[in-house]
A and B are shown apart, each in its own frame.
Chain A
Amino acid sequence: MKENEEFIIAPPGKLSLNLVELWQYRELFYFFTWRDVKVKYKQTVLGVFWAILQPLFLMIIFTFFFGRALNVDTNGIPYPLFVFSGLLLWNLFSTGITNAGNSMVANANIIKKIYFPRLIIPITSVLSAVIDFCFAAGVFVGLLIWYSPVVDVTLAILYWPMGIILACVASFGPGCWLAALNIKYRDFRYAIPFLVQTLLFLTPVIYPVTILSKQWMQFLLALNPMYAAIEIFRAPLTGGLNNPTLVVISIGSGVILFLIGIFYFKKTEMYFADLV
């Protein structure tokens, strides 16, 4: 018997992310993500097309109302492309945060019966949102070809992945937080859809931030971590960032929420099985 395998089960001590352990359980990331994606589209006729249809229809509706009727100024890019680039990331965020927020309660029966690093569950919830994102991104590519706007390729190589990562960070941190809170207070089950719906209008998805005339309103909006994700994702189309200060504020806010979320989750995870 190898002595180095010795480990101790004791009352909760200091917090540690324990990345080594996460790595040991890496196969579970794959299996949970795979399960979520597979189960989501079981017994549906259209299957993964749903991942494409949702943003596509929203784009059409928003284009009709905002693009045509209100004639929103979008820095010269066609409105459908503008709104779809926003919706694409927004969907990643909203699916990610909703899935992650409900993930612990949804997997309560597993949590109560077996141990594995609990963080795997919210992480895989976001990962399965990324898979949906990949399908929808196909439509984005189609739109790019159709409208063939001027794309700054160097910016695109740098900014597109960055926008995606920021959206994941923005959904994962608060998602973890909500997941942990949801275990204790089921109120959050009802609060999450409301939160996501409200945030859609507080994020420059369907309108550019320049629509807000007052400086302080723009600052307030930048506290939203999705602001940076969407601005950065759109920058290659609009030829650069409108207001780098706001983007930095937004990234900062995202990072802080990310840390708080993980901290709260790690702090409470030991008792999930007792509470759920």
Chain B
Amino acid sequence: MKPILEIKSLSKRFKIQHQESYLSLRDKITGLLMPSRPSEDFWAIKDISFNVEAGESVGIIGRNGAGKSTLLKILSKITPPTSGQIICRGRVASLLEVGTGFHPELTGRENIFLNGSILGMKRHEIRKHFDAIIEFAGTEKFLDTPLKHYSSGMQLRLAFSVAAFLEPEVLVIDEVLAVGDAEFQKKCLGKMEEVSKSGRTVLFVSHNMAAVNSLCSSAVLIDKGSMVMKERTQDVITAYESIVSNTAGNHTGIIFLEPKNGVVKRVEIFCDDRLSSTAYMGCKLEIKIHFSNDAPLEFPVLGLIFKDSQNSPLLAINNKHYVGNLIKQPLRDGSISMTIPHLPFFEGNYFVDVHMGNAFKDLQVIRECFQLTVEPMKFSSIGEWPDKQYNKIFVKDVAWSVNDGGHD
């Protein structure tokens, strides 16, 4: 049998103009007279080829900006490729977002029909699944309430539920699981497993390696627009982790940021007051960001997100939530630092996203800005260590005591 999807040397080029702005007619007209602004070719994806067999579930992984979303957009016919082609042998439905076309003024019931038909379901199909959809979403009571009165969680549940009842031969899904509470995420994952087990083909993009691992039999790794490999999921995840840690790996504890025009100039990592990106469990960790900006910052905000090697966030902290504004006079440049007295992470590799902002606005977001290696520490004199499998966090200074039974 022929593969259900044949992707043949697919490439997509964007022209990036170096002055980012709305294209206005005036610009176009003045552009006719003056030499055009320098534009640069940017290949979002380049020469990607692979096949997907019917019934296969394939994960697509790669760092941010690797070209995963562009690939999905071409697969979903939203944007055309520059060269190459895809041969599809089945109905493809794509889910690049849950709740596409949801309208806040319409009721839950109306939105189910609208969203369903935008996703390509026929009216009788939606009617057939209607009860199951609302049951899955758990929003029966609010069926005739306008969507704008729904909580964001409820909107999301409703949106995913409609999508869950799509019945195409090929289902293309982009990071829709990155949202919602843990319980609902689990429910969604379960539903997706059901879909892929029922013999349908699934293409799944995610940063959540655990989800990719449990859903997909094989995976494609894309880096900088090119395909690195298509292998068994576990092998691809290992390769991905090594790519990520190669870029983020830097053991000096000081990171200079490129490009130089960002707000964040330099990041320093101190472990027990020594510059080092290798920390150990329970150490005093300080992260110091040197910033400078044209406009003075009235309320500099440093946000840090610590993620494990599977890219699941563990800790997201910022001074806005913890202490508020730290300065009285606006600062054009300076440094802001965060200190955790006892690092609560177990041994392993962690990735840290840095958000630098002013009050409520992010000025710069650096994903996977650096890797933090946490080394084990000695626990007891016996030399036996707690099992890594059961530990994600670490608590320092645990008090233990044993009392006798009170028999004199």
Contact = CB atoms under 8 A, between A and B. Distances in A.
A185 B79 CA distance: 19
Interface in B72-97: 73-91, 94, 96-97
A114 interface: yes
A10 B103 CA distance: 32
Interface stretch (A38-46, A199-207, A221-229, A230-238): A38-46
A55 to B, nearest CB: 25
B117 A31 contact: yes
A115 B76 contact: yes
A185 B54 contact: no
Interface residues of B, number: 48
B22 interface: yes
Contacts of B241: none
A5 B90 contact: yes
A116 interface: yes
B382 interface: no
A17 interface: no
B89 A31 contact: no
Q: Which secondary structure characterizes the binding site on chain B?
A: loop
Contacts of A11: 80-85
Interface residues of A, number: 35
B117 A114 contact: no
B114 interface: yes
Nearest to A111: B78
Interface stretch (A84-92, A126-134, A148-156, A267-275): A267-275
A274 B101 CA distance: 18
Interface string B93-124: 01011001101011000100110011110110
Contacts of B80: 9-12, 270-271
Nearest to A9: B86
B78 A112 contact: yes
Interface stretch (B23-31, B229-237, B251-259, B384-392): B23-31
Contact of A6 (B78, B87, B118, B119): B87
B24 A35 contact: no
A114 B81 contact: no
A186 B27 CA distance: 12
Contact of A110 (B4, B74, B118): B118
B169 interface: yes
Contact of A109 (B100, B105, B169): B100
B88 A9 contact: yes
Interface string B1-31: 1001000000000100000001111101000
Nearest to B126: A27
Contacts of B87: 6-8
Contacts of A12: 80
Contact of A27 (B25, B106, B117): B117
A42 B105 CA distance: 7
A25 B74 CA distance: 20
Contacts of A15: none
A184 interface: yes
A44 to B, nearest CB: 11
Given A27-B122, A28-B117, A185-B25, A8 B86 contact: yes
Contact of B22 (A8, A39, A114, A186): A186
Contacts of A184: 23
A271 B94 CA distance: 18
A31 B154 CA distance: 23
A275 B17 CA distance: 12
A274 B26 CA distance: 21
Nearest to B90: A5
A1 B90 contact: yes
Interface in A239-276: 270-271, 273-275
Nearest to A36: B103
The 4 closest A-B pairs by CB, nearest first: A115-B77, A10-B85, A9-B86, A42-B105
9 contacts: A5-B91, A27-B122, A35-B114, A39-B103, A42-B146, A109-B100, A112-B78, A113-B78, A271-B80
Interface of A: 1, 3, 5-12, 27-28, 31, 35, 38-39, 42-43, 109-116, 184-187, 270-271, 273-275
Given A38-B110, A270-B79, A273-B79, 18 more contacts: A3-B89, A5-B91, A6-B89, A7-B87, A8-B86, A8-B88, A9-B86, A35-B110, A38-B105, A110-B100, A112-B78, A114-B101, A116-B118, A184-B23, A185-B23, A273-B73, A274-B14, A274-B79
